[in-house]
C-alpha cells in the first residue's frame, strides 16, 4: 500500500531559466530562496525558531539544531544539481510531515507555467491560517480559495486590512498627481510569507534616484503600511512572486484599476531582471 506523502510543512518554489549565453540555469534571488527554505525547514524540524546567539563560539552546540542544519544542507546539496540539470522550470523544495513518521524532504521538478504580466484580485474573507509566516502549510487551502474565486485571493486581516495575495506579495504606489503618498508601500503585517521578490524590489527602490518619474525626484524604498481594500484600490498595485515577477493588478473585486505609471513599472521590471543568480558557479553548487 502506498503511504501518504504527508502534510506540506515547508515549501519554496521559484522560476528557473536557462541563460542563452552560458547555457547555465539561473534563479532570481537564489541565495534568498535557499536561506528562506533553510530557516523555515529548521524551524519546522525543531518545532520552534532556532534562537540566535550573539556569542555562538561560547554556546554549547545543540545536537538537535546541529542535526537539523545538517539534514537541510544535505538535502539542498542533492536538490540544487537536480534542479540545474532539469533546466527551465518551476521546481519546488518541500518538507513534509506525518504523525506516524519523521519529516521527509522532497523535490518536485515541474515545467514552467505560462508567464503573465497582469492579474485580478478578489477579496477573501479572513482566514485562520496555520503558520501564516511560513510558505507551505496553507498552499493547498489557498489554491482552493483561488479556484473558488476565479482570481487571486486578496487576504485581509480581521480589521479588513490587506495582508497579501494567496500566492503573491503586494506593493502599491501613488497614482499620478497624488502628493499625499510620496512613496510606495508594502504590507506592514507580520502574519504573511516573507517574499523574496518583494525584498528584491524594495532593495532596488532604496538604491535608485528616478529623475524620470513625473513630479518625483526619488522613488525610495517602499515603506511598510496598512491599507484597507478600499484604500488599496485607489493606488497602483503590483502582485509579485518568484514565478511571474511583477504582475500589474488590473482589477480589485471586479473594479478596473487605473493605468500604471509605465516608466516606473518598466524600471522595476528591469531591476528585477538583474537579480538572476546561477545555480552553479565554477561547477560548484553552494547552499551558502
Specify the 3-state DSSP secondary structure of 29. coil
Sequence-separated (6 or more) residues with CB below 8 Å from residue 255: 233
Model confidence pLDDT, tens digit, residues 38-68 = 999 999 999 866 555 544 555 555 788 999 9
Indicate whether 243 and 136 sit together in one domain: yes
Q: Which domain holds residue 22?
A: 7-112
| Domain-located, residue 41 | yes
CATH of residue 108's domain is 3.30.470
Q: CA-CA distance, 167 to 144, in Å (whole number)?
A: 12
Asked if the structure places residue 1 within a domain, the reply is no
The cell numbers describing 79, all together, are 536538490
* C-alpha–C-alpha distance, residues 12 and 27, integer Å: 12
Of 7, 29, 16, 15, nearest to 203 (Cα)?
Answer: 29
pLDDT bracket for residue 213 (50, 70, 90) = very low
95 and 202 belong to one structural domain: no
Same domain for 226 and 205: yes
In the prediction, which pLDDT does 4 show? 53
Same domain, 163 and 261: yes
Please give the model's pTM, rounded to 2 decimal places: 0.89
**Number of domains present in the structure of the chain:** 2
Please tell me whether residues 99 and 54 are part of one structural domain: yes
Predicted pLDDT of residue 180: 57
Chosen domain end from 63, 85, 112 = 112
pLDDT at 100: 75
Lowest mean pLDDT among 9-18, 177-186, 274-283: 177-186
Same domain, 134 and 250: yes
Same domain (yes/no): 122, 259: yes
Domain assignment of residue 288, yes or no: no
**Whole-number Å distance between alpha carbons of 266 and 38:** 32
Specify whether the CB–CB gap between 165 and 138 falls below 8 A: no
Q: Is the pLDDT of residue 203 over 80?
A: yes
Could you tell me if residue 106 is inside a domain? yes
pLDDT at site 215: 43
Claim to verify: residue 64 and residue 11 sit in the same structural domain: yes
Question: In the prediction, which pLDDT does 84 show?
Answer: 97
Q: Is residue 26 part of a domain?
A: yes
**Last residue within a domain, chosen from 69, 91, 112:** 112
Examine the pLDDT at 191 and tell me if it is beyond 60: yes
Q: Nearest 5°: phi and psi at 68?
A: -65, -45
Q: Is the pLDDT of residue 154 over 70?
A: yes
Regarding whether 254 and 165 lie in a shared domain, the answer is: yes
In a domain, 219, yes or no: yes
Same structural domain, 92 and 124: no
Which of 14-18, 215-219, 221-225 comes out lowest in average pLDDT? 215-219
pLDDT tens by residue, 239-275: 999 999 999 999 999 999 989 999 999 999 999 999 9
DSSP E strands, the chain: 7-13, 16-18, 25-28, 92-98, 101-108, 118-123, 152-156, 162-165, 169-173, 185-187, 223-225, 236-241, 245-252, 255-256, 276-278
Q: Of the given ranges (103-117, 149-163, 271-285), which has the lowest mean pLDDT?
A: 271-285
Q: Please, are residues 171 and 186 in contact by the beta-carbon 8 Å criterion?
A: yes
Residue 285 maps to a domain: no
pLDDT above 50 (res 214)? no
Please say which residue of 71, 95, 112 terminates a domain. Answer: 112
Q: Average pLDDT for residues 153-178, to the nearest whole number?
A: 91
Q: Is the domain of 157 the same as that of 229? A: yes
Q: Say whether both 144 and 210 belong to one domain.
A: yes
Tell me the CATH number at 228.
3.20.10.10
Question: Model confidence at 280, in pLDDT bands (50, 70, 90)?
Answer: confident
What pLDDT, on the 0 to 100 scale, is given for residue 6? Answer: 86
Reference 88, options 26, 28, 157, 139; nearest CA is: 26
> What percent of the chain stands above pLDDT 70?
84
Residue at 81 is within a domain: yes
Contact 154, 121 (CB under 8 A): yes
Does the pLDDT value for residue 182 go beyond 70? no
Amino acid at each position: 500500500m502506498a503511504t501518504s506523502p504527508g502534510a506540506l510543512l515547508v515549501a519554496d518554489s521559484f522560476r528557473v531559466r536557462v541563460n542563452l549565453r552560458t547555457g547555465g540555469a539561473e534563479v532570481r534571488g537564489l541565495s534568498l530562496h535557499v536561506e528562506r527554505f533553510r530557516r523555515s525547514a529548521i524551524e519546522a524540524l525543531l518545532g520552534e525558531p532556532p534562537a540566535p546567539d550573539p556569542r555562538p563560539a561560547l554556546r554549547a552546540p545543540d545536537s538537535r539544531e546541529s542535526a537539523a542544519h545538517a539534514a537541510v544542507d544535505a538535502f539542498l546539496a542533492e536538490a540544487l544539481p537536480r534542479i540545474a540539470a532539469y533546466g527551465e522550470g518551476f521546481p519546488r523544495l518541500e518538507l513534509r510531515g506525518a504523525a506516524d513518521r519523521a519529516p521527509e524532504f522532497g523535490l518536485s521538478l515541474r515545467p514552467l507555467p505560462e508567464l503573465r504580466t497582469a492579474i485580478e484580485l478578489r477579496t477573501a474573507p479572513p482566514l485562520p491560517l496555520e503558520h501564516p509566516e511560513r510558505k507551505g502549510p496553507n498552499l493547498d487551502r489557498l489554491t482552493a480559495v483561488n479556484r473558488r474565486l476565479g482570481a487571486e485571493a486578496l487576504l485581509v486581516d480581521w480589521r479588513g486590512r490587506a495582508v497579501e495575495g494567496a500566492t503573491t506579495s503586494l506593493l502599491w504606489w501613488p497614482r499620478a498627481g497624488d502628493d499625499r503618498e510620496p512613496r510606495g508601500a508594502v504590507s506592514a503585517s507580520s502574519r504573511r510569507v516573507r517574499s523574496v521578490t518583494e525584498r528584491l524590489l524594495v532593495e532596488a527602490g532604496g538604491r535608485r534616484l528616478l529623475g524620470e518619474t513625473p513630479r518625483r525626484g526619488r522613488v525610495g524604498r517602499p515603506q511598510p503600511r496598512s491599507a484597507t481594500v478600499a484604500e488599496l484600490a485607489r493606488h497602483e498595485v503590483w502582485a509579485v512572486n518568484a514565478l511571474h515577477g511583477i504582475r500589474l493588478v488590473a482589477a480589485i473585486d471586479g473594479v478596473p484599476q487605473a493605468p500604471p505609471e509605465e516608466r516606473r513599472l518598466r524600471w522595476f521590471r528591469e531591476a528585477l531582471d538583474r537579480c538572476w543568480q546561477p545555480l552553479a558557479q565554477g561547477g560548484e553548487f553552494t547552499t551558502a
